Each structure stands twice: as structure tokens, then as C-alpha cells.
Structure 1
Amino acid sequence: MDTLVNSVNGSFTDLKAQTPENILVSHPIYKHYDELHYVHGLHNSLSASLDQSIWPELTGVTLVGDEKITFRSRGIFVVDDAFLSECNDFSDLGDAHNSSYTFFHLGSKLSGHSSIVHGGLLATLLDELTCILAFQNFPSKKGVTANLNINYFKPCMINSYVMVKCTSIKKSGRKCWVKGQIYKLDLDADIEGSVPEFVERKENLLSECECLVIEPRWVHELSDKK
């Protein structure tokens, strides 16, 4: 039998329904970006079926669990099919789409300073997720980090929800530059304006990076294992 607790309004709430995953995926913020992916996929079949090309052992397995990474969403891709099939160079997206969104709940065992998520973990998430997006712009769908520059603006507190947004900004031959941004999510606040305007505000920006990813000439030696 599931455990029930008495809520503030006198009704009973199923504790199992209050996991970080259920709280987030049922929230209008997550639903907006999930719907964005769905609508974009109606006219971009490759993007609609896009999946992460890697599932990192460190942040996908080792650091997952109670009070650690308690929830990690699938990658939500909004990428025009032309980028995926043609892999042409670009220097300005204009009205084109080449982005991804990933949501996390980060627990208390991920701290560096007291009550603050370790900056090294945030750097790892930015590195992994910018790379995953960059890979989609290469014919092999593989690559490696060549350079990663990060700016930290505000502390990321433990037991918080965040969204990592990645946007491809330039591609030249075997090189692809991607911007990564970590935004804090306040799931209790009233949403003012559109969801992107509410979430992707300067005051919510915790850290930002620019990652240079290359498709090495020895790319065939990289494993396909997820």
C-alpha cells in the first residue's frame, strides 16, 4: 500500500507522486520545452527521433541516486533536420534551430562549499551537454572537447532544479562552437510572460560556457557505446 500524508489543505497526497521527477515533468516549465520539441518534430522527423549519442557513466550512473543527481531528463532537442543531414558550416543561426534542453534535480551530496553545488560538477554537465549537441552537427555524430571556457555568475544551491540550455553558434569544418547555460528553476513562482522569458532571464543564469568541440581525424576510434 502506498504511503499517504495529510497535505495543508486537508487532502491526502501520495508520497510516491512527489519525487523530483514527477514534480518537474508535471510542471508547466518542463511541459513547455517538451511541447516545443514535439511541435518542432512535426516538420523535422530526424530531430523528432534524435537521442543522446552518449550517456556518460559519471553523471548518468555514478553520481545518480538519493541526494545526488536525483533526476536527469532526457535531452530535449530542437534542431532543424538540415543540420543533422547536411552538416554544413554556419556562422549565424538566424531563424534556424540548433538547441537542446536538459533538466536536473541536484541533491545535497553534490556540494563543494556548504549548501552549494560543486562548480566542477556544473562544469562537467556543461562539457557533456554542449558536446552532445555539437556531435549532431558532425557526419560521424562524434567528437571531443578541445576548449571549454566557463563563467560562474551565481551559486547553484543544493536541492534545486536547473535547466541546461545548449545552442550551437558556429561550425567550420571539423570544429563546432556551442554555448551552454545553466538556469535555476523556481517551480513555486508564478510564471510571468512566456515560459522562455520567465526561465531564461539574466537573474536566473547561474553559469555559462563556450565549448569548442572537434571531430578528430581519428574519430573512428571513438566508441559507439552509450
Structure 2
Amino acid sequence: MSYLSWSNLVVGYPNKKSLTNPFSGEITFPGIYAIVGQNGCGKSTLLKTWLGLIKPLKGSVLFHDAPIPTAHNISQGIAYVPQFHAVNRYFHISVCDFIKQGKGPHYHFTQNDHQEIINLLSEWQLSGYENRSFHELSGGQKTRAMIVRAIISKPKMLFLDEPLASLDVCCQQQLMDTLEELAQEHKVCIFIVDHHLENFKSYITKKISFTRKHDQEISTVVL
């Protein structure tokens, strides 16, 4: 059974030119899959299309040999760390409550769950921030909080859009070590878009490469 498969997929936005030629592929085993290529070639758009946030212009996408769910939740084992956080700055939410969202709206938290959050915050250099407003965090701290929210859900498929960009070298290494552990020990399939992966080649199971010639507007995608 496939974790993820797609057939004759073309990604882009409605009423605009497509960003890719049709391409097909299949992911059948856990690992870290890097999505690489120049800016504007469609990497983040591909991630959002796989997640069902954007409809494909052509072709189809299957999760576990079934159509993309109409609503993603924790029961489907899917987690997503976007490039930019989408929390309304006028809405106060504590770091702890923000991370709790990763478990889904109906999860009943225990004292052990709360301690797990405290431990993860300490691991990700956010110790003592659990009651701080999410909006008071720096860009790098917000990224780390979003990563904690994603991994606390114990997903089977994890999608990350440029998570390394706002992290320092120490946190970049920590993130890649954590992703490798998730992939190897917990059989998680991880897709990561980023421009900072040259130093982490040994972690990558496979690359999905976008290439575009200077005189073209359409990317060719190679798995």
C-alpha cells in the first residue's frame, strides 16, 4: 500500500498558468523526502495540493490508496507545518494551548499529556514559555512551537514547508535528528520543502526535484 501516490498531476492556481508538466509518482515506504528547486517553481504549491488545500489543475492524488480526505484531522495521521503561521494576531492563545491543538479538538488531556508538552518545550528551547502568548514569540520560536504542535500528534505523514529557514544551526540539527528518528523508529513519511538541506544530505531518503529552464514557465518534476 502507498503512503502517497499521484497520477498525471499538474499543480497551480485556478485561472493562472500551470506550474508543472504532468508527472506521476508513488511513496511506498517511510523516510525523509526533500522537495527541492528554485524559488517560484511550485514546491510549496505541490505540498498544498498533496494536502488537499489546493485542487490539482489536472490529475489525482491518493492517500493510502484513497482520495484526499475533505478534512484533515488527527485521526487521519496527517500533520502540516506551514511556511508562515496563520494565527490571528488579535486572538490571544498561549503557547501551551496552541500546541494542544495538535491533538485535535476533542482530545481529553491528562496530566501526563501536559508533562509531555513541558518536556517538548524544554527540548525545543521554549522552556518557561507555556503560558506566554504565542504572538510574543520570535519568528524562530514560533516555528519551533509549530513543530512541537505537529510532532505531538504522532503523525504517520508529516509535511513541512521551509521549517529550517528561521531556525539557528543548533535547532536545524535538532529538527533533522528528530525527523530521522520519526522516519526510522516510528515509520513516518516526511516531506520537507527547504533551501537549507545541503548540510543534511545524509538524512534524505530521496529528492523530488523541480527544474525550470530560463526560457520556460513550466517546471519539470523528477522523483
Shorter-normalised TM range: under 0.3
TM-score w.r.t. length of structure 1 = 0.26
TM-score w.r.t. length of structure 2 = 0.26
Structure with bigger RCO (C-alpha 8 Å, 6+ apart): 2
**Between structures 1 and 2, the one with greater strand share:** 1
